[in-house]
Structure formats: C-alpha cells, structure tokens
C-alpha cells in the first residue's frame, strides 16, 4: 500500500485528483465511485477540472434500498449533485435502490461490473473498517449483495432524514470480492475517528473483523490520509 499523508481535506482533494488524472492518462475507462463526506473534495477538484469524462463509465459502490434515484438522500442524487451535473459520463451506474427484488438487482449489478471492469476504485473508510456497506464479518469473496444496515449506521444517517423511521434499513453494496477486482484502488480517510480503522487496515492482520484489511492483498492500493487519521500508525 502506498500511503500519502496530507495536511487537510483540501490537500487530500488535490492528491486524490492527481491519482484520477494519472489513471486517465494511463487509459482508465471505468471509474468506481463512492459517496459520503470523504470524496467530496476530490469531486470538487474533478468537477472544476478540464478532464473529460464523456467517453468514460462510472460504477458506484452502493445505494439504499427503497429510495428512488431522485430522492435527495439517495446515492444517485448525491453523485448527480457532486459530480455528474458538472461532468457527465457516457454511462453512470449506481445500484437500483428502487428495485425491491434483491436477487435481480444484485445480479444485474454484478453483470454491469463484469461488463465494465473497474480501472480505479475510490473508497472511503468506515470507523469500524467497513468499505462500501461491507460491515465486519462480510465474506471477502462477496459480490453485490443486500445488506442490513447496522443500528450505528442508521443512527448516523438519521440526521439527513425528517425522522429516524424514514432512514432505509437496507442497502445494495458491491462486495469485497467485487472491490478487490478493480485494477487500482484509492482509499481516503480523514480525522481522528478513523485512526484506529486506518491502523488496522494497514498494519493489522487481514481479517473479516476489519473489511478494509483485505486491501492488503491487493497489488495497487493508494491510501490518502490526513495527520489525524494517520495518528495510530507505527
């Protein structure tokens, strides 16, 4: 794993932007994207750049089950707001949260990933070491699957909804196996709250207790951290 430490989220946005720029220069055609607060500064840089995505494909990590693409808390909507309005791709795929037939929705998404092998996958890191919605205990060979959200994730997300009952209980997520198939992975983490997960991801044993630790088995991973997130590394 190549670890790069930056001063803050803005510098992380620039460093992440350069990883995307290099990948595009090296011929990347399919970009794997994430939502959440971490990628926002990278998307700001990409949106403001003169990079052209109009011939490229994007494939997102995950989506809530039960939210339509036009729901303001859907990950579809997030991507539209933060990147796609400014930089349309030829094709952008996000799991179809409106499709309540999980077997169909997840197998269709696996088919999309198989037809569009990901050149560069961007990831954020959960405080408990999750990547995508792959919580501790997820099978490392997992493909796209339906996930029951943990109480802590539901609580963390409740602030975005009018009341806690509206927070989706399930999501569709690419699996750890799907993520590890990407040719290159960029994972980014900021802040003290991520420090323990960062240390476990990079220096701990490879274990289902820390889904991000499986990234140690991938040959091309770049990690961008601020100093607080790097503070528990030896």
Nearest residue to ligand F6R, scored by beta-carbon proximity: 124
Candidates 17, 30, 46, 62; binder of ligand F6R (CB under 6 A) is 62
In the complex, the smallest distance separating the C-beta of residue 92 from ligand F6R, rounded to whole angstroms, is 14
87-106 residues in contact with ligand F6R (CB under 6 A) are none
Q: Of these residues, 76, 82, 130, 145, which one is catalytic?
A: 130
- Rounded to a whole number of angstroms, the CA Rg of the chain reads 16
Question: Does the footprint of ligand F6R cover residue 138 (CB under 6 A)?
Answer: no
Please say if 135 is a catalytic residue.
Answer: yes
Map tokens 């070491």 to a residue.
129
Nearest of 115, 54, 60, 59 to residue 90 by alpha carbon: 54
Question: Does the footprint of ligand F6R cover residue 122 (CB under 6 A)?
Answer: no
In the complex, the smallest distance separating the C-beta of residue 187 from ligand F6R, rounded to whole angstroms, is 9
Work out the end-to-end distance of the chain between its first and last CA atoms, rounded to an integer number of angstroms: 15
- DSSP state letter for 194: G
4 bridge partner residues: 224
Nearest of 109, 130, 141, 145 to residue 217 by alpha carbon: 141
220 contact partners, CB below 8 Å, separation of at least 6: 183, 184, 185
| Beta strand 221-226 pairing with 184-189 | parallel
Question: Does the footprint of ligand F6R cover residue 131 (CB under 6 A)?
Answer: yes
89 contact partners, CB below 8 Å, separation of at least 6: 31, 53, 54, 56, 57, 58
Candidates 19, 38, 142, 215; binder of ligand F6R (CB under 6 A) is 38
In the complex, the smallest distance separating the C-beta of residue 18 from ligand F6R, rounded to whole angstroms, is 19
Question: Does the footprint of ligand F6R cover residue 226 (CB under 6 A)?
Answer: no
In the complex, the smallest distance separating the C-beta of residue 32 from ligand F6R, rounded to whole angstroms, is 10
| Beta strand 145-148 pairing with 170-173 | antiparallel
Question: Does the footprint of ligand F6R cover residue 121 (CB under 6 A)?
Answer: no
Question: Does the footprint of ligand F6R cover residue 37 (CB under 6 A)?
Answer: yes
Closer CB to ligand F6R, residue 126 or residue 168? 126
Please say if 145 is a catalytic residue.
Answer: no
Both tokens of residue 3? 């670890």
Please say if 108 is a catalytic residue.
Answer: no
Using CB under 6 A, count the residues that bind ligand F6R: 14
Residues lying near ligand F6R in the complex (CB under 6 A) are found at: 34-38, 61-62, 124-126, 130-133
């Amino acid at each position: 794993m190549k670890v790069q430490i930056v001063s803050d989220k803005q510098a992380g946005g620039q460093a992440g932007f350069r990883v995307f720029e290099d990948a595009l220069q090296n011929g990347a055609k399919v970009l794997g994207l994430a939502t959440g607060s971490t990628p926002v500064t990278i998307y700001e840089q990409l949106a403001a750049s003169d990079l052209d995505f109009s011939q490229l494909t994007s494939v997102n990590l995950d989506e809530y089950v039960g939210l339509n693409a036009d729901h303001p808390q859907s990950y579809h909507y997030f991507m539209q707001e933060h990147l796609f309005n400014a930089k349309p791709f030829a094709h952008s795929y996000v799991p179809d949260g409106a499709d309540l037939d999980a077997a169909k929705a997840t197998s269709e998404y696996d088919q999309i990933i198989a037809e569009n092998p990901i050149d560069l996958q961007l990831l954020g890191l959960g405080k408990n070491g999750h990547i995508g919605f792959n919580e501790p205990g997820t099978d490392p060979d997992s493909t796209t699957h339906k996930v029951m959200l943990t109480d802590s994730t539901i609580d963390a997300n409740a602030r975005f909804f009018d009341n806690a009952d509206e927070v989706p209980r399930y999501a569709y997520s690419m699996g750890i196996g799907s993520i590890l198939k990407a040719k290159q992975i960029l994972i980014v983490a900021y802040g003290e709250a991520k420090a323990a997960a960062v240390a476990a991801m990079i220096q701990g044993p490879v274990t289902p207790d820390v889904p991000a630790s499986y990234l140690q088995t991938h040959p091309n991973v770049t990690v961008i951290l601020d100093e607080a997130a790097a503070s528990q590394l030896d």
